[in-house]
Amino acid sequence: MRAARGPLLAFAAFGAYWGAFGVLVPDVKEQVDASVTELGIAFLAVALAALPAMLITGRIVDRVGPRVLPLALLLFGLAVLLPGLAGSVWQLTLALVLVGLTSGAVDVVINVAATNVETSGGPRVMQIAHALFSVGFLVAAIAVGIARGAGAGPPAILAGVSALVLISAAVNRGYPVSPRSGAPRQFTFSRRLLVLGLLCGLAFMIEGGIENWSALFLETDLDASPAVSGLGPGFFAAAMVAGRLLGQWLELRVGDRRLLATGALTASGGLLLAAVAPAIPLALLGFALGGAGVSVAAPTLFGAAGRAASEAERGSSVASVTTVSYLGFLVGPPLIGAVSGATDLRVGIGLLAGIALLLAATAASARRTLPDGGARHP
């Protein structure tokens, strides 16, 4: 596990930014004077910028290995400061473009680094790595909710997150360099990787929807205070941690397909509960069930892509799945923003429940892409 320490810390720091930003959404919305629809369009910039960054990073990783991780973390650590300095919708959009570029690069490299641990004789760490992402998200969400209640604003909070990301960059400076035998000349887009990416894209629509809109939903529809609204992303992240730690044990016993389908069905029920909840406790329970159910999707699908690829193609394989999957982040936030702007956030959350149901049905039928039992894993 020693070789995994740096990448695991990077996962935690990566999650801390998204947990902090999710809770800061109401403040950022007020800071730039944006409508719900305008905010959804600004969120679109993150995924739109991340897509090319992922493809390029996958090619770079195939050639030089995960030693690019500290540089990606350094650039990301600087970019996360910018949304807190935005004074208008267009400035926020530009800041989120830079966040998207750098976060896309980090996302690919940390997943490749975790897969390298698994394929080089180490233990399965993908579920644990993504659990630590959720730990970072959870701790940041709760801390930022408290900080908001005490009067702290986005600039100060994001400066603290930036410091954590830069520390993780320093820790990963010693990441071992592995020899490369030469990368393939074309990006890796097989039918199997496309299916894995589309499944993960549905999961990311759910994740992004809860992360970006749960705090605002609690404040606007259920009159929660800033500190209480932070519990929306917080409960979601806590359930993600528990789900992924349990998933570490379950994936070897029930198989990827059953784990993914059952989790998505759980998420659908939880989000439906949140959408119709008349009070804050029931909404929080719904967001927690949503997080627990969707938690296993990304590590299951990224791990399946990386383990099946050769070392020379692993970066491109993971990048292919992450690129396709980020279509969920590309479509999800503006879709929920548009639907909620035309109706209300309850309808938007209900739409997420329907997407989770679609993921459950699709995963259950993907017999050729995902194995039935853990014994079939390489």
Contact 287, 15 (CB under 8 A): no
The pLDDT, as a whole number, for residue 208 is 83
pLDDT of 371: 59
| pLDDT at res. 375 | 37
The parts of the chain modelled with pLDDT lower than 70 are 1-4, 65-66, 117-124, 174-189, 252, 306-316, 368-378
Q: Whole-angstrom Cα distance, residue 244 to residue 29?
A: 31
What are the sequence ranges of the domains in the chain? Answer: 2-174+186-376
Q: Are 192 and 214 in contact (CB under 8 A)?
A: no
pTM above 0.75, yes or no: no
User: Cα(93)–Cα(98) distance, rounded to whole angstroms?
Assistant: 9
Digit-coded pLDDT (tens) for 80-95: 999 999 989 899 999 9
Per CATH, the architecture of 2-174+186-376 is what? Up-down Bundle (1.20)
C-beta atoms surrounding 374 within 10 Å: 17
Cα–Cα distance measured from residue 48 to residue 80, given in angstroms and rounded to the nearest whole number: 17
What is the C-alpha separation between 33 and 352, in angstroms, rounded? 26
Report which residue type is found at 144.
V
> What pLDDT is stored for residue 36 in this prediction?
75
Burial of 278 (0-12, 13-18, 19+ CB in 10 A): exposed
Model confidence pLDDT, tens digit, residues 117-149? 666 665 667 878 888 988 898 889 889 988 988
Q: What is the pLDDT of residue 378?
A: 35
Residue 172, classed as helix, strand or coil, is: helix
Distance CA 240, CA 250 (A): 15
